[in-house]
Amino acid sequence: MKKIFSIIFCCIIAIPVFQTLVGVFPETKIEEKRELAVFPKISLDEKTLEGLTNYFNDNFGLRGSLIFLNNYIDLSVFKISPNTQVIIGKNGWMYYQPSYESNKIAVDMEMVKKVVEKIKNFEDELVFQDKRFVFVLAPNKESIYPEFLREKLEGENNYEMIMKEIEWQNVNTFDGLKLLQDVKDKGSMVYSKNDTHWTRYGLFITINEMLRSFGREGMNSSGVEDVQRVGDLSLLVGFNNSETVSQPIVDKSRIEADDRVLIFHDSFFDNEMYFNLAFKNFKKIHWKTGSIEQTYNQLGDSYDVVILEIAERDFLKFGASL
């Protein structure tokens, strides 16, 4: 009996090596949000050995299938996340760990005041130049859907604390948390179960309110349609499973205004679907690429409207980019 188990064990160990050499079995592709190691140039030094080790670790046979199986067992059987950046909530909901951690600790209000002062000074400069400005604070997913967290957040919501300071300093903005909560309460899903960002419906609602904040009419919608979406959190735990979410059916014949718009944003505004419908002339720049004031001074004369969007979880980090 021991000999039989030994043979089976050796066969199991040999299968990945056999697959690496021959490649007869279909491979399962895993989205890892990184580049896998490539085969190194061969030379007589330690770097070659290290490169070969990294290449084998990333490319041995059936690696994707084994990772998928491990992740499936962790999620389905043990209800734990195989990735430390993903929290498994109730009813299949997933949350981004860094975002959740940012909400567990009360935000430093002295730092918030300093960041808001910078934003207000930037707005005042634009108004002096006869330009329009609007600030958009994108709520964390757990701020909108705390009920699916296994460990509830205590105390005052950081979004509300930040928004109080923004409103007190009279920055042109709107309460995105209240806006999306109201839409959610009416039965619409505004954040995806397996993504850290809002749904296209949540994005549509936010952009429409943003347009009204600087004197524009919102986009028209004739209804909603269901689409399939694979969330970034789902990819982080090694699954490509999609979920059904709704998106508005937008009237594409609507005539846009001729405003020249400059948009500083993060990943919440990455999707250009509705920006292309709302604006004829716009430029989007990720604020993490450098100082927005410096970038604006290089480009600002060409634009009538400046939009500044930042996620709640990155609000204090954003201060360094002003």
User: HSE of 159 in the Cβ direction (CA atoms, 13 Å)?
Assistant: 24
Q: What is the pLDDT of residues 187-219, one digit of tens each?
A: 889 999 999 999 999 999 999 999 998 888 888
Give residue-wise pLDDT tens across range 10-62.
555 555 554 455 554 455 565 555 566 665 677 666 666 676 566 556 555 55
Q: What is the pLDDT of the chain when averaged over all its residues?
A: 80
Summarize pLDDT for 98-147 with one digit per residue, the tens: 888 888 777 888 999 999 999 999 999 999 999 999 999 999 999 999 99
Stated pTM of the model: 0.78
- The full set of domain ranges for the chain reads 2-80, 102-321
What integer is the mean pLDDT of 281-286?
90
